Amino acid sequence: MIKFFAENRLFHLQTREFSYVMQVLENEQLVHRYFGKKVNHFGTGNKITYLDRAFAPSPISGDRTFSLEALSLEYSGNGLGDFRMASVELRNEFGVGLDLKFQTYRIYKGKFALEGLPSSFGSEDEVETLEIDLYDALTDVTVTLLYSVFESANFLARSVKITAGEHATTIEKCLSFTLDMPRKDFVVHSLMGRYAYEKEWTQTPLTSGRYEISSVRGASGHAQTPFLALADERITEDSGEIYSGHLVYSGNFKAFAETSPLHYTRWGIGLNDQAFSWRLEEHQSFQTPEALISYTDQGLAAMTQDSHNFIKYHLVRSPFVDKVRPILINNWEATYFDFTEEKILELAKVASQTGIELFVLDDGWFGRRNDDESSLGDWFVNRQKLPNGLGGLAQSINDLGMEFGLWFEPEMISINSDLYRKHPDWAIGITGRDPIYSREQLVLDLSQEQVCDYIIESVGSILESAPITYVKWDMNRNITSMPERLANNERYEFHHRYMLGLYRILEELTTRFPHILFESCSGGGGRNDLGMMYYMPQAWASDNTDAIGRLSIQEGTSLIYPVNSIGAHVSAVPNHQVGRVTPLETRGNIAMMGGAFGYELDLTSLEKEEIEEITEQVATYKSIRQTIQNGQFYRLARTSNTQSTIYVNEDRSQAVFTFVKILAQPEAPLIQVRLKGLDPEVQYSCSQLNETFYGDELMNIGLTMPSVQKDYFSVQYIFNKI
């Protein structure tokens, strides 16, 4: 996987599909030579072209052709002639500037370690690691570049460690990687959006200048995802080059792609340098969060599948990673805060009769919480609502044959709470300024060890108090300020310290309760990122539960994240967010196509026929969920008015095809959809069509979609091998 060629001091990293090449120049500069389709040879004939470029600064007197600005650099400090976005910036008594020179390297089997942060993993047979030390003599700073190669998974994990020597220094910026590419004709793919409209798949041609996405919210955010891909302009599902980069982190981040006047592209990802700095005393180190890089020339479907597989088998640590997920009912949109034990049990009873397997009790079960203005932090059960406590309720739900799950929002504190009255200093705030509210709540200062200990203890004891097998971990506001308790020079460390505190909490709780399936949430997908997914294999994708609204959210999320990580529920009509009335069949089909399936509506208020339909949906989902959650996923033909997908199980004996047409049209053209992933020689039966087909017919000729004059129309066809 990793080779070092001593004669030309070249490092060549190879995965199943790509090569990544670096070289040490005569002056000890580490340059980037190649990233792209795998080559088995990178010979001495492949030389760097040096040219005299106007205004290009040179560190070598008399050599006007050598300039950092014109080279592809592996990791670049500022102040020495490279004017592009710097990878790293330090502030110390020597002024700015880092002259990073190659010092030494190490190659070993297995994955590099990352203390206190989520990161990918793999066995010694699957992963090999290269560490390269770069050294700046003036400041006595060592920058270690870490590369773990996942050969068959086709990924490269990156991180950077900065170590101070005899002098203290302050890190103002350190990205997890930057990469220089010798072309600029890319389209940038990213996942943007907003609250209730998360993960909008955005494609932006890279022109001159810089494309940047970032968050300073103390969370990755609804409006952006720590992910960026550079693709060929004419990429399709099945062909074209695409380079992708992820950050395994849930806090402030920055991802960018910029073109240089010499028509190169530099791109990268890492901690956001806004509101960040980190003090290193003598001999201390700092390590960046992990970034993941991949490449394929097989188009978007290959990127998606590599990404799903890597996340599932090398990043999600939960024992639930590929276990089938229970079908759940969540009471949020059924009752909001207004429930009693009796109401919950009525709902649970109907749910159990339909075959639903898990009841999730959402917000409002603790403290004196009857609306969103109080009690966050008071993690003890509200006996007025639940006289038999959580233990009693969970037992009654278990008696109905269902498991029991519970909602928490542990990082928050309400001003109207016992916790705030006791520990006002645990909330993030600034003396002399009014608190900044969001949903009437403040954020706990997780940079304080005692606050994290309180969360571990209070959540832990609730989890021990009842047979709870599922936790929904919510976070309903962003962080606006930094605690004034911190000294001036530590204040900009706060955001990262918060994340380290959160990760410690999650590490402890998920390790202590391995039988619990954790779902992350932040008002829907406000923190749906790989940092959270390391601990929690599922995420509530959006507070938008409208089936049609979900189409783009699910499509964007599944572009990179595994389908079984996407919580997708059938909700009531008219829909609570947009007022739309969609047929129950379409709500079911779209939620099933979303991944981890469930319901979120008052089943007790439905007609008998609707309950019968739901019972059928639940039974159908049970027969296909292994295929949906762990099968191969393909996006099929789509337009702004239609979407279709197919899931195919491992031995290609079952496939689930879904087609949705949003609005009916007059004189509509027929729509032919070609399926993918089937065995061409196998004959499949489809009970919904009462027909049989060979795989090659379905894939090459395709199926003609029904022509129906109805809005929000959908079909689900299940193909089983005969």
The DSSP line for 522-590 is BTBBTT-SHHHHHH-SEEE-BS---HHHHHHHHHHHHHHS-GGGEEEEEE-SS-TTT-----HHHHHHH
Contact 628, 598 (CB under 8 A): no
Which of the stretches 74-82, 99-107, 521-529, 696-704 binds ligand DGJ when contact is defined by CB under 6 A?
Answer: 521-529
Contacts of 639 (CB under 8 A, 6+ apart): none
Closest separation in Å from C-beta 525 to ligand DGJ: 9
Using CB under 6 A, which of 332, 659, 684, 713 touches ligand DGJ?
Answer: 332
Cα atoms in the Cβ-side hemisphere of radius 13 Å centred on 361 = 30
Tell whether residue 523 is a contact of ligand DGJ (CB under 6 A). Answer: yes
Residue 666 CA, distance from chain mean position? 40
- CB closer to ligand DGJ out of 276 and 540: 540
Cα Rg for the chain, rounded, in angstroms?
A: 27
Tell whether residue 198 is a contact of ligand DGJ (CB under 6 A). Answer: no
Tell whether residue 130 is a contact of ligand DGJ (CB under 6 A). Answer: no
Specify the pairing of strand 412-414 against strand 441-443.
antiparallel
Which of the stretches 68-76, 148-156, 169-177, 517-525 binds ligand DGJ when contact is defined by CB under 6 A?
Answer: 517-525
| 543 in catalytic set | yes
Contact 82, 69 (CB under 8 A): yes
Site string for ligand DGJ, 389-428 (x = CB under 6 A): ------------------x---------------------
Q: Which amino acid is at 689?
A: L
Q: Which of 543, 602, 679, 711 is catalytic?
A: 543
- CB closer to ligand DGJ out of 407 and 535: 407
The DSSP line for 232-296 is ETT--SSSB-EEEEEEE-SSSEEEEEEE-TTS-EEEEEEE-STT--EEE-TT-EEEPPEEEEEEE
Which of the stretches 188-196, 519-527, 605-613, 628-636 binds ligand DGJ when contact is defined by CB under 6 A?
Answer: 519-527
Tell whether residue 521 is a contact of ligand DGJ (CB under 6 A). Answer: yes
Tell whether residue 363 is a contact of ligand DGJ (CB under 6 A). Answer: yes
Closest separation in Å from C-beta 576 to ligand DGJ: 11
Between CA 580 and CA 564 the distance in angstroms is 26
Which of the stretches 38-46, 70-78, 394-402, 518-526 binds ligand DGJ when contact is defined by CB under 6 A?
Answer: 518-526
Number of chain residues interacting with ligand DGJ (CB under 6 A):
11
Between CA 206 and CA 184 the distance in angstroms is 7
Using CB under 6 A, which of 20, 278, 365, 540 touches ligand DGJ?
Answer: 540
> CB-based burial of residue 482 (10 Å sphere; 0-12 exposed, 13-18 middle, 19+ buried)?
buried
Closest separation in Å from C-beta 439 to ligand DGJ: 8
Tell whether residue 567 is a contact of ligand DGJ (CB under 6 A). Answer: no
Element of type H or E holding 199? strand 197-205
Q: Which of 306, 474, 529, 546 is catalytic?
A: 474
Which of the stretches 117-125, 228-236, 484-492, 520-528 binds ligand DGJ when contact is defined by CB under 6 A?
Answer: 520-528
Tell whether residue 474 is a contact of ligand DGJ (CB under 6 A). Answer: yes
Relative orientation angle of helices 547-560 and 299-314, to the nearest 10 degrees = 80
Using CB under 6 A, which of 180, 362, 445, 493 touches ligand DGJ?
Answer: 362
Closest separation in Å from C-beta 332 to ligand DGJ: 5
Catalytic residues, by residue number, are: 474, 543
**Using CB under 6 A as the criterion, which residues of the chain lie in contact with ligand DGJ when the complex forms?**
332, 362-363, 407, 474, 476, 521, 523-524, 540, 543
